Amino acid sequence: MSDKKVVPFAASKLSKKEQIATMFNDIAHRYDFLNHFMSLGIDIMWRKKALKLLKSLQPKKMLDVATGTGDFAIMANKMLNPDTITGIDISEGMLSFGREKINNLGLSDKITLQLGDSETISFPDNTFDAITVAYGVRNFENLEKGLAEMLRVLKPGGKLVILEFSNPTVFPIKQLYNLYFRYITPLIGKWIAKSQAAYSYLPESVKAFPQGQEMCNILTNTGFQAVTCKKLTFGISSIYCASR
């Protein structure tokens, strides 16, 4: 893992957190489409696999951190049918798209999206049965602080499920992945979302993020138990599951 802090806008004086919020506000209008387009729809399968790990728990109260436009929260509601899901995110632009989507689906009584920071979660200790994060932890300004906050608001016996990009190591997937991420992804971002910076940041942030056993060790050192890592599609994504 690199010690250098990877940020969307290298020349900016804003903190990583402020830059991430600005970046997602800028691309909110095309975010959902680009997610599915650039992963060829495989991200939907990855999300379902992650949520299946919570089925036996039958969570009643869920928190979706870095919820974005609420896609993962909507899927969690459909698959797990909890009483309530709260989604938090630092980008008001993403949340406003999400609220509109949730309203149109008639789910406003079950899913609530609110402005919130992973490092200072505004809920009491032991509030949630399950916490999910899809493609958000690598954007945390302080990873350990964010994980500790999620541990704090999780009930004893509750579960955390993190879905995040990782770097494949198998030939030729590794080479094709690097080529796609480094050269093609920024071009698609520039063309569709009008933001090359956001989609140049993506491969850099994945490369710098702790993965596999290293990420499992960080979760364990934070205080989580029964930490597991499952690689998906040649290691392009990984699911980390941990209990309190």
Q: Summarize pLDDT for 143-195 with one digit per residue, the tens.
A: 999 999 999 999 999 999 999 988 888 889 889 988 887 788 778 777 766 76
- Residue 79: its pLDDT value, please? 98
Q: For residue 12, which amino acid is it?
A: S
Retrieve residue 194's tokens.
């009008």
**Residue 219 neighbours by CB under 8 Å, 6+ apart:** 147, 160, 227, 240, 242
Q: How confident is the model at residue 198 (pLDDT cuts 50, 70, 90)?
A: low
List CB contacts of 96: < 8 A, sequence separation 6 or more.
28
Q: Which domains does the chain have, with CATH numbers?
A: 16-243 (3.40.50.150)
Burial class (CB within 10 angstroms; exposed 0-12, middle 13-18, buried 19+) of 130: buried
The answer, yes or no, to whether residue 55 has pLDDT greater than 70, is: yes
- Rounded CA-CA distance 118/87 in Å is 11
Residues tagged in the binding site annotation for S-adenosyl-L-methionine: 69, 89, 117-118
Angle 191-195-196 (CA atoms, 0-180°, nearest 5)?
80
**Residue 59 pLDDT grade (very low, low, confident, very high; cuts 50, 70, 90):** very high
Extract the annotated binding site.
Answer: 69, 89, 117-118
Neighbour tally for 108: CB within 10 Å: 12
Please name which of 129, 125, 119, 151 lies closest in space to residue 244, comparing C-alpha atoms.
151
Q: Higher pLDDT residue, 27 or 84?
A: 84
